[in-house]
Amino acid sequence: MVNIKCNADFCLIPIGTESPSVSSYIAEVQILMQESGLKYSMHSAGTTVEGPWDQVMDVIGRAHELMHKLGVQRVQTDVRIGTRVDKHQSFEDKVTVVEKLLREKDQARAATV
């Protein structure tokens, strides 16, 4: 058991589906995410999920199992995982900090014009 919280961004890719569109498969993954109880956010190229390491890895593994149950023969997933132990920072917090910096930079540029 790994006793650390993490943010993971994963892009699950069903391979060998009948259609180039995989949105119906991704919708099933999002239902799984909702049922997991973990905090998550879907974006155009994947899903960000946060929580205890073991639970995050478990839900990604269950997404693979789900794809195979739906008939997908092969699944490839790219995962990026971040951990931080000096403070709690949600994935939303990380975006908010950058957005604040951008607003400040825009205001500074506008003041010099």
Hey, where are the domains in the chain? Answer: 5-85
Q: For residue 106, what are the contacts with CB-CB under 8 A and spacing of at least 6?
A: none
CA angle 44, 46, 50 (to 5 degrees): 125
Q: What is the mean pLDDT of each run of 10 residues along the chain (113 residues)?
A: 95 93 96 98 96 98 98 97 92 90 91 85
The reported pLDDT for the residue numbered 59 is 98
| Structure token digits, residue 82 | 């971040």
Class of domain 5-85: alpha beta
The DSSP 8-state label assigned to residue 74 in this structure reads E
Of the candidates 51, 42, 61, 44, the one whose C-alpha atom is nearest the C-alpha of residue 81 is 51
Q: What is the pLDDT of residue 112?
A: 87
Closest CA to 11 of 37, 38, 29: 29
Query: pTM to 2 decimals?
Result: 0.86
Provide the pLDDT for residue 91.
87
Give the DSSP H or E segment for 36.
helix 23-36
pLDDT for position 70: 96
